[in-house]
Amino acid sequence: MPPPPRSLAATGTTASAADAAAKNVVLVHGGFVDGAGWKGVYDLLKKDGYTVSIVQNPTTSLSDDVAATRQAIDKLDGPVVLVGHSYGGVVISEAGTHEKVQSVVYIAAFAPDRGESASSLIANPPAGAPVPPILPPVDGFLFLDKAKFAASFAADVDAEIAAFMSKTARNLIDIANLTKLGRTA
Protein backbone atom coordinates (compact mmCIF):
# COMPACT_ATOMS: atom_id res chain seq x y z
CA MET A 1 0.00 0.00 0.00
CA PRO A 2 1.46 3.40 -0.86
CA PRO A 3 1.88 5.94 1.92
CA PRO A 4 -0.62 8.79 2.28
CA PRO A 5 -0.30 11.43 -0.46
CA ARG A 6 1.63 14.01 1.59
CA SER A 7 4.31 11.59 2.74
CA LEU A 8 7.92 11.71 1.62
CA ALA A 9 10.32 8.91 0.96
CA ALA A 10 13.26 9.20 3.34
CA THR A 11 16.84 8.25 2.70
CA GLY A 12 19.03 8.66 5.72
CA THR A 13 18.20 11.99 7.31
CA THR A 14 17.73 14.05 4.15
CA ALA A 15 14.23 15.31 3.38
CA SER A 16 13.19 16.68 -0.01
CA ALA A 17 13.55 20.32 -0.99
CA ALA A 18 9.81 20.71 -0.31
CA ASP A 19 10.64 20.56 3.39
CA ALA A 20 13.24 23.35 3.27
CA ALA A 21 10.88 25.69 5.14
CA ALA A 22 10.13 23.19 7.90
CA LYS A 23 12.83 23.41 10.55
CA ASN A 24 10.82 21.41 13.11
CA VAL A 25 10.98 17.63 13.17
CA VAL A 26 8.89 15.41 15.46
CA LEU A 27 10.12 11.82 15.83
CA VAL A 28 7.66 9.08 16.88
CA HIS A 29 8.99 5.70 18.04
CA GLY A 30 7.58 2.22 17.58
CA GLY A 31 5.50 0.26 20.04
CA PHE A 32 7.97 -1.82 22.01
CA VAL A 33 10.71 0.78 22.43
CA ASP A 34 10.97 4.38 23.54
CA GLY A 35 12.26 7.60 22.05
CA ALA A 36 15.87 6.89 23.03
CA GLY A 37 16.19 4.85 19.84
CA TRP A 38 16.11 8.12 17.88
CA LYS A 39 19.35 9.43 19.45
CA GLY A 40 21.50 9.08 16.32
CA VAL A 41 18.87 10.72 14.11
CA TYR A 42 18.28 13.43 16.73
CA ASP A 43 22.01 14.25 16.84
CA LEU A 44 22.26 14.51 13.03
CA LEU A 45 19.16 16.70 12.72
CA LYS A 46 20.26 19.01 15.56
CA LYS A 47 23.68 19.35 13.93
CA ASP A 48 21.92 20.42 10.72
CA GLY A 49 20.00 23.13 12.60
CA TYR A 50 16.60 21.48 13.05
CA THR A 51 14.44 21.82 16.15
CA VAL A 52 13.76 18.22 17.10
CA SER A 53 11.12 16.83 19.44
CA ILE A 54 10.95 13.16 20.39
CA VAL A 55 7.55 11.84 21.44
CA GLN A 56 7.40 9.35 24.30
CA ASN A 57 4.29 7.36 23.36
CA PRO A 58 2.46 6.14 26.46
CA THR A 59 1.33 3.09 24.41
CA THR A 60 -1.85 2.89 26.48
CA SER A 61 -4.05 3.44 23.42
CA LEU A 62 -3.70 4.73 19.89
CA SER A 63 -5.67 7.85 20.86
CA ASP A 64 -3.25 8.50 23.77
CA ASP A 65 -0.26 8.09 21.45
CA VAL A 66 -1.81 10.46 18.89
CA ALA A 67 -2.57 12.96 21.69
CA ALA A 68 1.06 12.84 22.92
CA THR A 69 2.25 13.45 19.35
CA ARG A 70 -0.19 16.33 18.84
CA GLN A 71 1.05 17.90 22.11
CA ALA A 72 4.63 17.77 20.81
CA ILE A 73 3.51 19.41 17.55
CA ASP A 74 1.54 22.10 19.43
CA LYS A 75 4.68 23.18 21.31
CA LEU A 76 6.55 24.00 18.09
CA ASP A 77 6.42 27.23 16.09
CA GLY A 78 5.98 26.78 12.36
CA PRO A 79 5.63 23.84 9.98
CA VAL A 80 6.53 20.34 11.14
CA VAL A 81 7.94 17.25 9.47
CA LEU A 82 6.41 14.29 11.33
CA VAL A 83 8.49 11.09 11.29
CA GLY A 84 7.42 7.64 12.45
CA HIS A 85 9.09 4.26 12.73
CA SER A 86 7.26 0.91 12.93
CA TYR A 87 4.07 1.40 15.01
CA GLY A 88 4.97 5.11 15.02
CA GLY A 89 3.73 5.09 11.42
CA VAL A 90 0.25 4.29 12.68
CA VAL A 91 0.48 7.20 15.10
CA ILE A 92 1.71 9.71 12.50
CA SER A 93 -0.94 8.58 10.02
CA GLU A 94 -3.57 9.98 12.37
CA ALA A 95 -1.57 12.76 14.05
CA GLY A 96 -0.45 13.95 10.61
CA THR A 97 -3.81 15.65 10.13
CA HIS A 98 -2.60 18.42 12.51
CA GLU A 99 -2.60 21.79 10.72
CA LYS A 100 1.14 22.36 11.42
CA VAL A 101 2.21 19.10 9.75
CA GLN A 102 3.78 19.86 6.39
CA SER A 103 4.71 16.27 5.62
CA VAL A 104 4.87 12.81 7.13
CA VAL A 105 7.83 10.47 6.74
CA TYR A 106 7.57 6.71 7.26
CA ILE A 107 10.84 4.97 8.15
CA ALA A 108 10.33 1.20 8.07
CA ALA A 109 6.88 2.01 9.39
CA PHE A 110 3.27 0.98 9.06
CA ALA A 111 1.31 3.31 6.77
CA PRO A 112 -2.30 2.27 7.35
CA ASP A 113 -5.22 3.72 5.50
CA ARG A 114 -8.59 4.58 7.02
CA GLY A 115 -10.08 1.46 8.63
CA GLU A 116 -6.75 -0.39 8.84
CA SER A 117 -4.53 -1.13 11.84
CA ALA A 118 -0.98 -2.38 12.31
CA SER A 119 -2.50 -5.73 13.17
CA SER A 120 -4.47 -5.90 9.92
CA LEU A 121 -1.36 -5.01 7.91
CA ILE A 122 0.68 -7.91 9.34
CA ALA A 123 -2.16 -10.44 9.49
CA ASN A 124 -1.29 -12.28 6.25
CA PRO A 125 2.37 -11.73 5.36
CA PRO A 126 3.68 -13.10 2.06
CA ALA A 127 5.56 -16.40 2.22
CA GLY A 128 9.06 -15.87 3.57
CA ALA A 129 8.39 -12.33 4.82
CA PRO A 130 9.79 -11.48 8.26
CA VAL A 131 7.22 -11.67 11.04
CA PRO A 132 7.65 -9.68 14.27
CA PRO A 133 8.32 -11.91 17.28
CA ILE A 134 5.17 -10.85 19.10
CA LEU A 135 3.93 -13.38 21.64
CA PRO A 136 0.22 -13.98 22.29
CA PRO A 137 -1.43 -11.30 24.47
CA VAL A 138 -1.33 -11.71 28.25
CA ASP A 139 -3.74 -9.65 30.36
CA GLY A 140 -4.31 -7.29 27.44
CA PHE A 141 -0.61 -6.68 26.70
CA LEU A 142 1.60 -7.83 23.86
CA PHE A 143 5.12 -9.04 24.61
CA LEU A 144 8.14 -9.71 22.44
CA ASP A 145 10.09 -12.93 22.30
CA LYS A 146 13.30 -11.54 23.86
CA ALA A 147 15.43 -14.23 22.18
CA LYS A 148 14.39 -12.90 18.75
CA PHE A 149 14.52 -9.20 19.62
CA ALA A 150 17.95 -8.40 18.18
CA ALA A 151 17.27 -10.04 14.81
CA SER A 152 13.89 -8.34 14.43
CA PHE A 153 14.39 -4.93 16.02
CA ALA A 154 18.12 -4.24 16.20
CA ALA A 155 19.87 -6.24 13.49
CA ASP A 156 22.23 -3.36 12.66
CA VAL A 157 23.01 -2.45 16.27
CA ASP A 158 26.04 -3.51 18.29
CA ALA A 159 25.24 -6.90 19.94
CA GLU A 160 25.78 -5.59 23.48
CA ILE A 161 23.46 -2.62 22.89
CA ALA A 162 20.87 -4.88 21.22
CA ALA A 163 20.94 -7.21 24.24
CA PHE A 164 20.36 -4.23 26.54
CA MET A 165 17.54 -2.97 24.30
CA SER A 166 15.83 -6.37 24.50
CA LYS A 167 15.80 -6.15 28.28
CA THR A 168 14.31 -2.65 28.24
CA ALA A 169 11.71 -3.35 25.53
CA ARG A 170 8.31 -2.10 26.61
CA ASN A 171 5.16 -4.15 26.60
CA LEU A 172 2.50 -2.82 24.27
CA ILE A 173 -1.12 -2.67 25.26
CA ASP A 174 -2.99 -4.76 22.70
CA ILE A 175 -5.48 -2.02 21.83
CA ALA A 176 -2.70 0.25 20.55
CA ASN A 177 -1.84 -2.33 17.90
CA LEU A 178 -5.39 -3.34 17.03
CA THR A 179 -7.19 0.02 16.85
CA LYS A 180 -8.29 0.93 13.33
CA LEU A 181 -7.67 4.46 12.11
CA GLY A 182 -10.59 6.80 11.65
CA ARG A 183 -8.74 9.42 9.61
CA THR A 184 -5.30 9.66 8.07
CA ALA A 185 -2.90 12.32 6.85
Element (H, E) at 67: helix 62-74
Ranking 10-19, 70-79, 170-179 by mean pLDDT, the lowest is: 10-19
Tens-place pLDDT, residues 52-109: 999 999 888 889 999 999 999 999 999 999 999 988 999 999 999 999 999 999 998 9
| Statement: residue 15 has pLDDT above 90 | no
Q: What is the pLDDT of residues 116-160, one digit of tens each?
A: 888 888 888 788 877 778 888 888 788 888 888 888 878 888 999
Does pTM top 0.85 for this prediction?
Answer: no
Q: Half-sphere exposure of residue 128, counting CA atoms within 13 Å on the CB side? A: 0
The helix, strand and coil proportions of the chain, stated in percent and rounded to the nearest 5, come to 35, 20, 45
Residue 30 and residue 86 in contact, taking contact as beta carbons nearer than 8 Å = yes
